[in-house]
Structure 1
Amino acid sequence: MGDINFNIEYNRKMKLIDSLKSEIAILVEKREYLIKDKKPFLESKYMMTIGKHEKERLEIEIEVRALKRELSIRRAALNRGEKVTSEEIKEVLKKELRLWQNKINEYANQIKKSELFLKLPRMDVEETKEFKSLYKKLVKRLHPDLNEFNEKSKFLWLRTCAAYKDGDLDELRTLICIVQNEEEDENYLEKNLLLIDDKINELQQIFHNINNQIEELHSTFPFTIEKEISSIIWIKNKVDEILENVNMLKNNREKLQVVLSEFL
């Protein structure tokens, strides 16, 4: 009777372990999808609709800052009865505005990457469904947090991660064939209920950790504007607001240029 009860409890807990692995695999796939696919897509869409206008605003804002600083330097020199050359001013501005120029370069790189990303070929609905399904199966069998890890499984897991990152459906198909041809070793727990309980606790903690990571992702940019970035009206309002600022900055730039012309 004791053996029967032990086996029932053992089987119940092994099913729980299998269920937890399946749920974790779903969460891992969801997290990776958010990080490696949805996040760059939303960022790219933002950069190509709004970010490019923010770059223009930043460029003019830097010009205005440079003109204001030049005016300040020339007035200070005039008050001291000294002369300052244009080359000296350029050197001062180059140093002081370096961080701002780096921001411009960063924007330019992001826009270029976004343009390339949005032009990449994308899988159709059926291929995407298969891709996600295969990845979840591979996570369940190969993820180092869910399984015993050796050199072979490590090699296969690294191939899996690379295939997911590259969107390589054929590689995932190959990997699932390799994994399915090998027997999954479930004997490492040796029917020890204490070891099994430890494994269940470990898997439950992994589940909660990944779930928290996903929730945290949803609370950060660009996921916080996921709904808005699909709205043409929202995008137009944001762009109009930026362009209004751009026009104000252009007016300031022209006024500063007029004042500076008196020093030349």
Structure 2
Amino acid sequence: KSEIHEEITCNYYSMDFNIDDIRETYTFSQACQETVPQAIKCFLESTSFEDSIRTAISLGGDSDTIAAITGAIAHGYYGVPKSIEEEGLAYLDEELRRIYDEWTVFICSRYNSEISLIHNSKQASIIIFPDHEKLKASIEKLRVELSMLVLERDELLYVECKNIEMAYMLELGGLEYKAYELHCTLLRLKRKVELIQARKNRQEKVIISKIEEILDLEFVQYQKKLEEQIDKMNAAIDRSNMEALSKEESREFKKLYRTIVKVLHPDINPDLSEGKIQLFHKAMEAYEHGDIKGLRIISSMVTHLELPEESKEISTRLAEEKERISKLLQSLKEEISNIKFNYPYTMKPFIQSSEKIEERKEELKERINQVEKSLMVYKAKIEEMLR
């Protein structure tokens, strides 16, 4: 099901919702794009043919349509329980039942013929080790899951989190920079007063240039943080000026990257050459910068790395590979969770609320106003001390 979910998400519909989340608001729609995604989701969340139908009907609205679509999908995956099939066929009239029976005979004979050819061909060329085959299938499934999690992690790091930070900086970055700059200026003036007063107490000559040199050294970290804030603002502006991908390009973009990840990611393929590892780093850079042309070029250069052929000796290696990938999966899940519980992802609800943004703007403006008043007081005090 993970592969089905991935294929649908990359090429057809967004699957970033749960049935329980849409149950209260779901209503009838004649458009396929407003019924098919929900039907697919009913199937993906199901545990059996019957469960998928029950889930679809529970949504209400166009329950007959969505149940029919869900049933067709579930039929292909689970098959139909014999009792349900017999009950359904009982509703067909004589002519429809004849057509159904003729089609069943035709399709079954064709299917059995093809299976027989495939089976005979395999028997003639290789010896199948059942445990080996199960391990290979299991590892391939884990690799697919791992590549999807890598895509999710990188989508969070290089796209969603950067977009969140960009939106935050464009809305509030200017005011926050100004507030922090004034705060640093105020701290510097306070320290300047202390240094001047200390020299006066010792009856030393006050040389402002010397005091400024001391302040420059003491406030290096503050200045560094201001420069970092400027860099963030510039990055946000640059990102906002990037050419946005169309919906179709966005799907292709994710699919290209996931294909590259499956072939070139060092965690999935630990025996890569240095050249292929460098190529993967180029792919990461292209992904981070939304460079679909770069990903197309890299994707055209790589082919999928096959699992080793059957042999009894290789089974141990496959078992070790399965364990290695399983550990990577757990680590990646923890990393994704960590991203979602930290800045900037935690700012996502904030930037989606115009009310909260306006409140924050007013807070910053008020803080700036208060600091500016304090600055005037300290500047006047310094002038008085130097008379």
Provide the TM-score with structure 2 as the length reference: 0.62
Greater relative CO, 1 or 2 (CA 8 Å, sep 6+) = 1
**Which residue matches 2:5?**
none
**Which residue matches 1:251?**
373
Report the alpha carbon displacement of residue 39 of structure 1 after superposing the two structures with TM.
2.1
Report the alpha carbon displacement of residue 58 of structure 1 after superposing the two structures with TM.
1.4
Report the alpha carbon displacement of residue 237 of structure 1 after superposing the two structures with TM.
1.2
Within a 5 Å distance, the mapping from 1:121-140 to structure 2 comes to 121-140=243-262
How much identity, in percent, do the aligned residues show? 24
**Which residue matches 1:186?**
307
Distance 1:107 1:17, change over 3 A: same
**Which residue matches 1:168?**
291
**Partner AA of 2:149 in structure 1:** L
The correspondence for 1:105, drawn from 209, 227, 242, is 227
| CA-based RMSD | 2.4
Q: Which segments of 5 or more consecutive residues in structure 1 lack a partner in the other structure?
A: none
The correspondence for 1:26, drawn from 148, 152, 160, is 148
1:182-219 Cα offsets, whole Å, 9 max, x none, are x7432267453322211111111111111111111112
The separation in 1 between residues aligned to 2:185 and 2:195, in whole angstroms, is 15
The correspondence for 2:273, drawn from 150, 162, 166, is 150
1:191-250 Cα offsets, whole Å, 9 max, x none, are 533222111111111111111111111121101111111211111111211221111111
**Which residue matches 1:117?**
239
8 Å contact kept, 1:31–1:214: yes
The separation in 1 between residues aligned to 2:185 and 2:193, in whole angstroms, is 12
8 Å contact kept, 1:189–1:196: no
**Partner AA of 1:176 in structure 2:** S
**Which residue matches 2:166?**
44
**Partner AA of 2:178 in structure 1:** E
8 Å contact kept, 2:128–2:310: no
Report the alpha carbon displacement of residue 151 of structure 1 after superposing the two structures with TM.
5.5
Q: Which moved more, 1:50-59 or 1:186-195?
A: 186-195
The reply to whether residue 80 of structure 1 matches residue 202 of structure 2 is: yes
The separation in 2 between residues aligned to 1:89 and 1:177, in whole angstroms, is 62
The separation in 2 between residues aligned to 1:237 and 1:153, in whole angstroms, is 50
Q: Which segments of 5 or more consecutive residues in structure 2 lack a partner in the other structure?
A: 1-126
8 Å contact kept, 1:64–1:252: yes
